[in-house]
Every structure is written in structure tokens, then in C-alpha cells.
Structure 1
Amino acid sequence: MTTNQATGTTTGPAAGTAAAAGPLRLFLALDAAVTGANGLIYLLAAGPVGRLLDVDSAFLRATGAFLAVYGVLVAVLAARPVPSAAATKAVIEVNVLWAVAGVAALVLGWLEPSTAGLVWIPLQALVVAAFAALQLGALRKAHG
């Protein structure tokens, strides 16, 4: 443990190092893989998935395109030896927003999905919220 005399901040010996960033990189990489796969499924199979969930296929294609690009961006961040704290915070914020929007879409009636959709959408929101929580904890450990 070291203390910076100028700022008075205390950091662990591994704060800001690649070793400390290992869990953060893992959670970002898992998020990127799940998000990218989900995006590709929505993008390439919007018709069948739309019928299953009773969600408009054009909406799913647009969502899939966003998720595929977002997944690539998160993967690029995860590949860094020590992911930027600011970029990681942005990922966490987008994940929280995504989770809240998914639940709000159901509660506020923005979407009226099938029973499968009523299960899938909150499940997806829960997974995304879990990624945000894991990433936040790992960010704190990686960046002190």
C-alpha cells in the first residue's frame, strides 16, 4: 500500500496495473461477447426472433446493429492492458441505461411482447445490470 504525499490518496500495490485490471478486462470481454452475439442474432435473424418475441423486426435489426457495433467497441476496450477508467465508466452507464430501458419498455407499454418476450427482456436486463455491477467492482479495484 502506498500513499501519495501530494494528494493524500492511498492505492494498493497493483492499482492501475495490468494484473489488477485482469478481472475488469474479463468482465468487459464477456460483456462484449454476449452483446456482440445478441446483436448479430437480432441483426441476422430479426424475422424469426421478432416473431418469437412479438417485437418488430425492423426494431430488432436496428437494435442488433447497435449491439454489434457496441460489442466491438467494448471488445477493443477489454483488449487494452489497463482499460481506461473513463471509457469503462461509459460502458457501465450504457449498461445501466440499457437495463433500465428494457424494464421501462415493458412497464410503460413501449413494447407488448409475447410471453417469450416477457421472459427474455427482463432476463436480458438482469444480465446487463449484472455486467455493470461486476464491471464497477472491478473498475474500483483496477483503478484504486
Structure 2
Amino acid sequence: MASTQYDGAASPATATASDDFARLVLKLDAVVTGLNGIAYLALATVLDSFFGVSTGVQYLVGAFLLLYVLGVLAIATRQEISRTGLTTVIAANLMWFALSLVVVVSDALSPTGVGAVWIVLQSLVVGGFAALQYIGLKRL
């Protein structure tokens, strides 16, 4: 009987310990992405000439990023992280990474040099989050 109680008590602690890394990376992703989204919304008129990307695009991207943050936080703050949810975040981050590079290479948004560098750096950060989240997924 004592062994049954021990097994029941140990199981949630083990599950929590195994998802700590994934939870941390998801929350860090949410913070960085949220700050980026807020910046695009609040500073679009300043950043348009600096990055060469129109305010309309920045407003859309900023709003999208804030909605994305809500999804990431919903996954990160559940008692148990969903493997499907985490996999979805990884896939979304990989798509963002790839599409950002396509935007720069194709000159789709006609960014300035600074804007192109920003887009590439941002894509690398997002790709880094995807890699770290993948490590977290493997630890689940």
C-alpha cells in the first residue's frame, strides 16, 4: 500500500520535472515575441523608415505576434505541456524562420539594409527557440 501511495505521489513530480525546460523556453519565447509585437504596434511609425517596412505590415505582424503569444502561453501554463501543442509551436517557429529568410532573399517587403539585417536576426532567434523547444519536446 505504501508503494502505491509513493508511485502516485512521484508521478506528477516526475512529469513536472521533465517539462521544466520546455516550459521555460516556451515562456521565454512568449516574452520575446510579445515585446517584439508590442514594439511593432507602438513604434510602427518610427520603424517604417528605419526598417523600410510599411506601418500596415508592422501593425499586422504586431497583432499576429500578440495573438501567437496567447497561444504559446496557453501551452506553457497548462499543468502538463501538450506534446501536440509544443510540436505546433515548433512548426510555427520553423515556418517563421524560413519565411523571414524568403522575405529577405526575395526582397518582398523592400526592407532597408538595417531592416534586412533585423529580419535575419529575428529569424535566427526564432529558429533558436524552435531548436530549444525541440530539445524540450524530446525531454517530455
- TM-score for both structures, normalised by structure 1: 0.85
Secondary structure of 1:20's partner?
helix
Is 1:64 aligned with 2:39?
A: no
1:90 counterpart = 2:71: no
* Corresponding letter in the other structure for 1:130: G
1:1-144 maps to which residues of 2 (within 5 A)? 17-142=15-140
Which amino acid in 2 is paired with 1:24?
A
Q: Deviations over 1:11-42 (max 9, x none)?
A: xx89x701100000000000000111101111
Cα RMSD after superposing both structures: 1.7
Alignment partners' CA distance in 1, 2:35 and 2:70: 10
Distance 1:29 1:82 in 2: 14
How many pairs align? 130
CA contact (8 A) 1:52 1:117 kept: yes
* 1:21 and 1:81 in contact (8 A); partners too: no
2: CA distance between counterparts of 1:65 and 1:102?
17
Give structure 2 stretches of 5+ with no counterpart. 1-10
Runs of 4+ off more than 3 Å: none
Letter in 1 for 2:65: L
Alpha-carbon distance, 1:81 to partner: 2.8
Give the distance between the partners of 1:33 and 1:77, measured in 2 at CA. 14
Q: Hey, which of these two has a bigger chunk of helix by percent?
A: 2
What does the per-residue CA deviation read over 1:70-97, in whole Å, with 9 as the maximum and x for residues that have no partner? Answer: 1122112111232100011110000000
Answer whether contact 1:36 1:72 (CA < 8 A) is retained. Answer: no
Deviation of 1:51 (Å): 1.6
Matched residues, percent identical?
36
